[in-house]
A and B are shown apart, each in its own frame.
Chain A
């Protein structure tokens, strides 16, 4: 072979290699799949396992505190027994024996105390003034919402009981809501400081002005918003998605994906029934989460099969169903994962069910064919509609853009690319979005 041929062959090889590198760069680019994006949850679970302690016993606490609350409720009101005790009067509502106050349906109900403290009750709210003395009082919020303003005085001592929780007040202003049916406490502290004690927080959780606390006794979770809560944000929104903005969910306006049927609409009655269904194995909840965090997905699946998949899906706690869904997804058991996520959507539509829409989109993407892509797109759209500020929005919007590009072409995807770059200029799909906008 001549030197010229050698040189020519080397040049060809060089061109080939540079072409191969460019092709590998292109084909193995930075775009993350839905499955890869979902790894965030697994990572956070693993981190949580390393930093937080495990094995909640919320129901036992609920029972214990319920008994205490009942005891307080049965305790006679002795406000007249003490000469210097505070007095109170009710405006626009009714008060009966034992200090039971019922707000009028028309609204505007207020309880005024002689020290200047005040409770404003939403229509239908039930409260009981269980105790008053010279230093303050104790109010049991049986159900509903109250705006509480306590006048600061030396040695003042006020307690607002809400279900199994008690909010210890010195001088402050806050909103408190208790839902007995959902077992959810929502405290929004406007000024001052309070300590909330109850299930999951027996040592007391101190809250500062601007903070928001939502405790879900049933799910064993306390959400403490580090930043000032947004006005009007609902407890459901906070519980549904950390960091999610208050957006009312209107399921009826969202068409279910065609290929995978969405769950039927549930009345509040059936949802409450589901929430109060006895968990299949409460004691195992922590261990399943632990197994997930350890990556032992087969362990979760084996336990679930031993317990009964159907039973877990229909009567398991939210933590159980979520763990089963995640385990099945990680093990590529798409059929079971889909069933579990659909069960989440059916049974826990305000919390885990919203996030399930994102994972259902990913599962559909794992299948081939145009129909599967369309289904995936519809799930992502649904997730974005239900959780506009949810954890996986950067990923869901990115996947939506990619799927629209594949299904409807560049022109249709451009607006999504622009939206993506405007919202997440450094997001995981920023590069493909730019590429889309630059393409002809």
Chain B
């Protein structure tokens, strides 16, 4: 019996087992409302969720709130998960839905001029390297010109390195449609980069491992 008084805060201390459990076990624990599960969920997926949010939206203070939305949504909707072992894919899907919603919200705000701030402007806080910052700002301005689904697909495939099937699942699209969209967005972004002389000149100088050929759609 764990019948605590109304209003009492009963804190069942975490056991070590769940933190080492696989995703399916964690999903079942979340569904069963195991009090240890939310913490393990956060610790396991928060780095990925924040990374996806950052790479899709740019570094932004609002990411904290969006991450909360993602995790609370996962917590609330996990009962609908048919395949517990697909917990990671489920978290990715929720993150994608949240980012797409946020992108649309920002687009509307810019359109009605509620905020002059672009997503790219947020990148100013990321890197102290002036050239890299300028390049990234221009790059995200290009991504601002791509529709939300294509932008999300681009980030998942080329920045997150997800498999095509994973991208398709996260976006709720067929594999063929996903391939077409990726080919289209790649061509469009290439075109926009090509028209920006600063990026054409600076981009290749960026010191980092380039995506492998199979990264291309």
Query: Do A and B make up one complex?
Result: yes
Q: Which residues of A contact B (CB under 8 A)?
A: 9-10, 12-32, 35-37, 39-40, 42-44, 46-48, 50-58, 61, 195, 199-206, 220-227, 238, 242-243, 286, 295, 330, 332, 391, 394, 426-428, 431
- Asked if A15 contacts B204 (CB within 8 A), the reply is yes
- Asked if B159 contacts A24 (CB within 8 A), the reply is yes
Q: How large is the interface on B (under 10, 10 to 19, 20 to 34, 35 or more residues)?
A: 35 or more
Q: Which of B4, B67, B75 contacts A36 (CB 8 A)?
A: B67
Residues of B within 8 A of A24 (CB): 55, 136, 139, 159
Q: Smallest distance from the beta carbon of A184 to chain B beta carbons, Å?
A: 14
Please name 6 pairs of A and B residues whose Cβ atoms are closer than 8 Å in the assembled complex, sorted by A: A16-B204, A21-B210, A30-B48, A225-B13, A226-B15, A243-B14
Known: A29-B51, A203-B3. A20 touches B206 (CB 8 A): yes
Known: A17-B203, A226-B15, A243-B14. A55 touches B6 (CB 8 A): yes
- Asked if A36 contacts B5 (CB within 8 A), the reply is no
Q: Smallest distance from the beta carbon of A178 to chain B beta carbons, Å?
A: 18
Q: Smallest distance from the beta carbon of B29 to chain A beta carbons, Å?
A: 12
With A and B bound together, what is the CA distance between A25 and B75 in angstroms?
Answer: 28
- Asked if A35 contacts B38 (CB within 8 A), the reply is no
Residues of B within 8 A of A13 (CB): 190-191, 193-194, 200, 203
Q: Smallest distance from the beta carbon of B65 to chain A beta carbons, Å?
A: 7
Q: Which of A16, A51, A226 contacts B202 (CB 8 A)?
A: A16
Known: A15-B204, A16-B193, A18-B211. A23 touches B135 (CB 8 A): yes
Q: Which of B12, B71, B206 contacts A226 (CB 8 A)?
A: B12
Interface centre among B42, B44, B135, B202 (most CB of A within 10 A): B42
- Asked if A220 contacts B8 (CB within 8 A), the reply is yes
Residue B164 is within 8 A (CB to CB) of chain A in the complex: no
Residues of A within 8 A of B42 (CB): 39-40, 43-44
- Asked if B4 contacts A205 (CB within 8 A), the reply is yes
Q: Which residue of A lies closest to B63 (CB)?
A: A36
Q: Smallest distance from the beta carbon of A197 to chain B beta carbons, Å?
A: 10
- Asked if B203 contacts A28 (CB within 8 A), the reply is no
Residues of B within 8 A of A195 (CB): 1
Count of A-B contacts judged by CB separation below 8 Å: 212
Q: What is the predominant secondary structure among interface residues of chain B facing chain A?
A: helix
- Asked if A201 contacts B190 (CB within 8 A), the reply is no
B133-160: which residues lie under 8 A (CB-CB) from chain A?
A: 135-136, 139, 158-159
Residues of B within 8 A of A431 (CB): 47
- Asked if B5 contacts A16 (CB within 8 A), the reply is no
Residues of B within 8 A of A61 (CB): 5
- Asked if B7 contacts A220 (CB within 8 A), the reply is yes
Q: Which of A17, A29, A56, A332 contacts B7 (CB 8 A)?
A: A56
- Asked if A20 contacts B10 (CB within 8 A), the reply is no
Residues of A within 8 A of B44 (CB): 426
- Asked if B7 contacts A39 (CB within 8 A), the reply is no
- Asked if A25 contacts B190 (CB within 8 A), the reply is no
Q: Which residue of B lies closest to A6 (CB)?
A: B194
Q: Smallest distance from the beta carbon of A393 to chain B beta carbons, Å?
A: 11
With A and B bound together, what is the CA distance between A32 and B42 in angstroms?
Answer: 12
Q: Which of B4, B127, B211 contacts A21 (CB 8 A)?
A: B211
Q: Which of B2, B67, B191, B202 contacts A39 (CB 8 A)?
A: B67
Known: A23-B135, A28-B59, A32-B46. A224 touches B8 (CB 8 A): no
Residue B82 is within 8 A (CB to CB) of chain A in the complex: no
Residues of A within 8 A of B13 (CB): 223-227, 238, 242-243
With A and B bound together, what is the CA distance between A222 and B7 in angstroms?
Answer: 11
With A and B bound together, what is the CA distance between A61 and B4 in angstroms?
Answer: 13
With A and B bound together, what is the CA distance between A199 and B159 in angstroms?
Answer: 53
Residues of A within 8 A of B203 (CB): 13, 15-20
Residues of A within 8 A of B61 (CB): 332
- Asked if B206 contacts A23 (CB within 8 A), the reply is yes
Residue B88 is within 8 A (CB to CB) of chain A in the complex: no
Residues of A within 8 A of B67 (CB): 36, 39
With A and B bound together, what is the CA distance between A176 and B194 in angstroms?
Answer: 74
Q: Which residue of A lies closest to B195 (CB)?
A: A13
